[in-house]
Amino acid sequence: MARLSLEEANERLDNQKSFGYINQFYLTDDKEHTIVRFLLKDVSDIEVYSIHQVKMTSKNGSEYVVHVSCHGDNCPLCKEAMKYDKQKFPLVSKARDNIYIPLIRFYDKDGKLDPAYQVFVRSTRFYRDTLAGYAARYNVDGYTEVERVGKGTKTAYNLYSVVKDFDGKALDDSISIEQLKEDFEVRKDDIFGRSDSLIKDWTSEQFEQFLETGTYPKGDLQDNDEEEEVKPRNRSSKHGF
């Protein structure tokens, strides 16, 4: 199993009838910032996985990255990653330990109030160097301003506890994490455990097919291509925030 967190991954649910694309949280520009709420009661709720980043090419020619569970000893992707050891952006990365934090992002890239469910993916170093200290001082389930600093491989994220929105109005802290999860249809296995979860858990046959063809293996809801036009599950909020 790839799960390294305190809790075991939920039982996998195969052959889901609907595909719910899980959108990752990004800030694209230096000094860009927004307000979020982490869907956590405590940092012990954070899910940690060992994964490989596998680069794919869509039908329209654009590249995207898939997170694939590392299978530890004798992992086919660990062996494949050795071929690209000197490359800056390899086809298959070395195994890395990441944290996955579900959150509600309240403002879009243009500063418009548009609440959306996303998942913040960072290295375990971010937890140790930034998030752990923040959580020790503030309620991790409160409103947090996230700021991007730097570009490219020099990118870092700063966290600030906030009680007012960008218009200076008090943020509503009466809304529970449980209510937010219900409103935005957050599921326990969105990150890992289903065939359409953010992290893919390939079978031996899927590993073999990818290594032979370099394409997304069949036997998964995403099949051979990740449709970039698929919209994330951006639910209309019942709250004014």
Rg (C-alpha) for the chain, rounded Å, is 18
Model confidence band, residue 153 (pLDDT cutoffs 50, 70, 90)? confident
Contact 37, 144 (CB under 8 A): yes
Residue ranges of domains in the chain: 33-213
pLDDT at 236: 39
What's the farthest any 2 CA atoms get from each other in the chain? 56
Among 65, 67, 51, residue whose Cα is nearest residue 1: 51
Lowest average pLDDT, out of 5-19, 49-63, 88-102, 138-152, goes to 5-19
Encode pLDDT of 55-107 as tens digits: 998 888 889 999 999 999 999 999 999 999 889 889 999 999 999 999 999 99
Q: From CA 106, how far away is CA 86, in angstroms rounded? A: 39
Q: Please give the model's pTM, rounded to 2 decimal places.
A: 0.82
Q: From CA 221, how far away is CA 121, in angstroms rounded? A: 22
Model confidence band, residue 220 (pLDDT cutoffs 50, 70, 90)? low
Contact 79, 215 (CB under 8 A): no
Q: Coil, helix or strand for 175? A: coil
Between residues 224 and 114, the one the model is more confident about: 114
Between residues 33 and 19, the one the model is more confident about: 33
Among 82, 102, 101, 103, residue whose Cα is nearest residue 92: 82
Q: Which long-range contacts (CB under 8 A, 24 or more apart) does 214-219 make?
A: 214/91, 215/56, 216/56, 216/66
Tokens of 41: 């009661």
